Structure 1
Amino acid sequence: MDYQQVVTNVTVNDGQTADVSIVLTKSSTAAPTAPNRPTPANQATAQPTTVLLSWRPVGATASDSLRYDVALFESNNLNQRMLLTNSKDTAVTATSLRYSTTYYWQVTVRNTAGVTARGPIWSFQTVAFPTNRYLFARTVVGNTDIYSADGTATPVQLTFGSTVETAPQLSPTRDLIAYTSNATGLYQLYTMNHDGSNPRQITTLDVDGYNNRGVGYRWSPDGAYFIYAHNDKLYRINRDGTGRMELATAPAGRNFRECDWTAEDGGHLVVQTVGADIFDSELYIYNTDGTNPRLLVSNLPGRVDSPSFSIDGLTVVYTRDVTGFNSAAGRQQDARIFSRRTDGTGTPVDLSSGTNNSGKTLGTNDLTPHFAPDGFHLIFVNRTTDEVAPPEVWTADLDGRNRTRLFTNAFLPDYK
């Protein structure tokens, strides 16, 4: 069956023996048999977000010259993705799949006569979204978005807007990610789920001001509130966007910028204030209700930035350009990480100089330091002073040794 029907003439002479050979040729008009033995197996689970789909032809030979179309469907989505069209391949890679999602796929086989047969619909489910501990911002082709990573696998992109999404922070209770975006024209505070879903605008009074483009905010230690800077005002707001209240007003002629909040040692805030130029910077300690400001780091030559509390709340790390370069454009020549006790005693300790040549590379700046959740490491950004090369995220011991690069083209990291 399925062979070509051909009529031909055979000449037979009377009284002679004739040899007749009949060549059977498969019919090209018969439908091919649908493929089987899919990989991954039908209804497979925990598949990666980039997966190789393959199948086996049935009853076919090389001379059949079969061609394949492969369609992929995502659950709860009527749109199909054509992974292959009229291809000889018996495998194709599906990329950019969503986590925790069921996919359906079907192979259509076609012979040289154009007769087709559709295979069964197979399915697989992708792996659950990873519980990543690292967050950072990354700029690709001029567009800044937020990524998460666990330090080993490929970072996962969480936002995909055409606007700037930046300054991610994981809540202390690890249930939400906060970030800022200029989608409304000014930087507002948002929250989203770990996988980037359910973005929600929290502020209507922007996290903005001169020399502050969405970087001036912080979660409260219990994850119930935010503090954030708006020009010369410091506000507290509930995590759902309600209950905004003013905590403090900056000294005359100055604006608030970066900040942090600790519950230890009775609870305090550390806040940066800046003048008309970014290098005109000071750090203050406040009570958590915005009262009793106390100068911690005065306006020194060179830019001072990014205060952050230690786990026990007794130390603040920050950065300062030790060259004393007062650039109105904000450029720094040798920004280093310093630590200082919150009670103001002792001498600030330079953590970037390192020992035994373990410090930062000449011609680079160390920026935006934070304590790692174990309390014994720092996470920070290192970048060339000309800012031509992409920034990098690094970790180091508290004394500055054992510097380790984690991510390239990454900045404003968070780690919990």
Structure 2
Amino acid sequence: MKIRSVHIISFLFSFLILLACGEDTIEFGGTGKIKGKVVEDISFIPVENAKIELSPSGNTVFSDAEGNFEMENVTVGEYSVSATKEGFLTGFEPAQIEVGSEVNVVFELKEETANNRPPNEPKLISPEDNAIDVALTTNLVWSASDPDDDNLTFTIKIKNDKNNDEVVKENITDTIFQLTDLTTSTKYFWQVSAYDSINAPVWSKLRSFTTSNQVNSRYLYVKSSNGNNVIYSRDEDGSESALTPASLNSWRPRKNSSSNLIAFLRTDENFETQIYTINPDGSNLFKVTKTPVAGFKPSEMDFSWNSNGSKLIYPHFDKIYEINKDGSGLRLIHQTTDGNFISECDWSYDGNTIVVKTNNSNGYNVSIYTIDMNGNKKTNVLSGVNGAAGGLNLSVDGKTLLYTYDISGFESSSYRQLNTRMYIYDFTSNTRRDISANKIDGSLDIDPRFSPDEAKVIFVNTSNDGVSQKNIFTQNVNEDGTIDGTQYERQELVQDAIMPDWE
């Protein structure tokens, strides 16, 4: 019985082995092939290295540089074929495989952001459309939203009705922006765009506003913008307004109260320095000169009104010319005898005296002296010294002269100054007094002007390194040199500004 049982078990074991071997060799349904291509939606540019996967089998291949792929020996059946690539939405296509068949599949993949919606159109809130008497410093306010809650950045475009300038402010993340460089009596047009970093920017409707025509400025000065000098005015409350465009280089403002005009220097179309005039609100530009202001460095040149605002005097190399404010009546007043250039001049209130500063082509060998209206020399103030000087301004009564001098006597090709101080020269006593008593060591006091009541001066102070920021200050110049016991007290007025004038 035991032997019979063993034979039966052996037979069953052998049958199972044969059955298993038979399953390895028998085909159930056969195979086919899947070929295809992966491209970008719209552009049809091939997508390389996209992952192609069959479901439910899980077979995987990758597209080549031409976007092509191929799967062989795919068992007969129904499949879902997917194409996946970072930066694109996954594509799906069905495939029915039959024995010996070749199925072609094309994927047109869309970018992941293809379904992202653009921002809503920004709504401009303030100033109201067609608003008038808008302050020269004002806030632009708008609202914006995005249907997908994307983070938005904004761009503002601003134009005006006086010129073709367009100001563009980009990469703004807030929905409020302060404008500080507006001019009086000017109509401005503005638009805001919203950008979600995915879709094209969406622009708001165009709106406009007009600034106030009120001009209460006391101070004029120059700031740098877009690589050019721009003239600004400022009132006692600190509100400032740009009087000249940043697209043109304008500097050295000089206001005359009698004519209610501001004269200044500007580079013309021939790259020459000319005198222009404007109204206090920046309007009514007029070119006065044709023979240019010329000689030493343009930034060191200065000119002067007469007291009633009918004429100007200005330097041209070794000469001083007089000209009417309408550009007529050009007349030579004075010419140096040593060939030195005239860089600065100032005209006395009574119209009888002109003070001039001369220097060589490097800015040195300085002389400061006065002449009468026939060009005859009267009084020598400074000569025979080394170093730079300038900043001429006569007092109303003509008895004193404000000027600067670098007492270090340093001279260099870069016209660097080391210890420039302010002085008041007394023509009666032929003496001078130093009013830079509180000047910081290593700094310069330059470009001084008397205040209208001559109790103070306005001036620029900066480091003598030649590259630091320049700031405008005021200080008293009383005979005893004190205010409440503080000698020559200084007060900062404007940062990062030069060439002040005080009316």
Q: Where does 1:4-403 land on structure 2 (aligned, <5 Å)? A: 45-48=132-135, 49-53=137-141, 95=179, 99-101=184-186, 125-173=210-258, 175-183=260-268, 184-213=270-299, 215-264=301-350, 267-343=352-428, 345-353=429-437, 359-398=438-477, 399=481, 401-403=488-490
Q: Residue by residue, what CA displacement relative to the aligned partner does 1:283-320 show, whole Å, maximum 9, x if unpaired?
A: 11111342344322222232222221112210001111
- 1:298–1:105 CA distance, 2 compared to 1 (3 A): closer
1:93 CA drift (Å): 5.4
Distance 2:416 2:189 in 1: 52
Q: Residue by residue, what CA displacement relative to the aligned partner does 1:174-208 show, whole Å, maximum 9, x if unpaired?
A: 52111111223121111112222232211111101
- 1:360–1:241 CA distance, 2 compared to 1 (3 A): same
Q: Show the counterpart of 2:491.
A: 404
Query: Would the aligned equivalents of 2:353 and 2:372 in 1 still touch at CA under 8 Å?
Result: yes
Distance 1:274 1:101 in 2: 42
| Number of aligned residues | 359
Q: Show the counterpart of 1:115.
A: none
Higher relative contact order (CA 8 A, sep 6+): 1
Q: Show the counterpart of 2:44.
A: none
Q: Show the counterpart of 1:20.
A: none
Distance 1:200 1:390 in 2: 32
Q: Show the counterpart of 2:502.
A: 415
Return the letter of the residue paired with 2:492. R
Runs (5+) with no aligned partner, structure 1 = 1-35, 56-62, 66-70, 84-88, 108-119, 354-358
Query: Would the aligned equivalents of 2:300 and 2:343 in 1 still touch at CA under 8 Å?
Result: no
Query: Would the aligned equivalents of 1:175 and 1:194 in 2 still touch at CA under 8 Å?
Result: yes
Distance 2:239 2:362 in 1: 38
Distance 1:105 1:276 in 2: 48
Distance 2:316 2:128 in 1: 55
- 1:297–1:103 CA distance, 2 compared to 1 (3 A): closer
Distance 2:230 2:328 in 1: 26
1:94 CA drift (Å): 7.9
Moved more, 277-286 or 194-203: 194-203
Return the letter of the residue paired with 1:50. T
Return the letter of the residue paired with 2:387. G
Query: Would the aligned equivalents of 1:180 and 1:187 in 2 still touch at CA under 8 Å?
Result: yes
1:384 CA drift (Å): 0.6
1:121 CA drift (Å): 11
- 1:232–1:155 CA distance, 2 compared to 1 (3 A): same
Identity %: 31
Return the letter of the residue paired with 1:275. N
Q: Show the counterpart of 1:59.
A: none
- 1:391–1:41 CA distance, 2 compared to 1 (3 A): closer
Query: Would the aligned equivalents of 1:208 and 1:230 in 2 still touch at CA under 8 Å?
Result: yes
Distance 1:271 1:190 in 2: 21
Return the letter of the residue paired with 1:195. D
Moved more, 294-303 or 316-325: 294-303
1:330 CA drift (Å): 1.7
Return the letter of the residue paired with 1:415. W
Distance 1:304 1:278 in 2: 9
Distance 2:412 2:158 in 1: 54
Runs (5+) with no aligned partner, structure 2 = 1-122, 150-155, 169-173, 193-204, 482-486
Question: What RMSD, in angstroms, separates the aligned Cα atoms of the two structures?
Answer: 4.2
Q: Residue by residue, what CA displacement relative to the aligned partner does 1:197-241 show, whole Å, maximum 9, x if unpaired?
A: 232211111101134557231111111100100011111000111
TM-score, reference length from structure 1: 0.73
Distance 1:301 1:74 in 2: 50
Query: Would the aligned equivalents of 2:161 and 2:187 in 1 still touch at CA under 8 Å?
Result: no
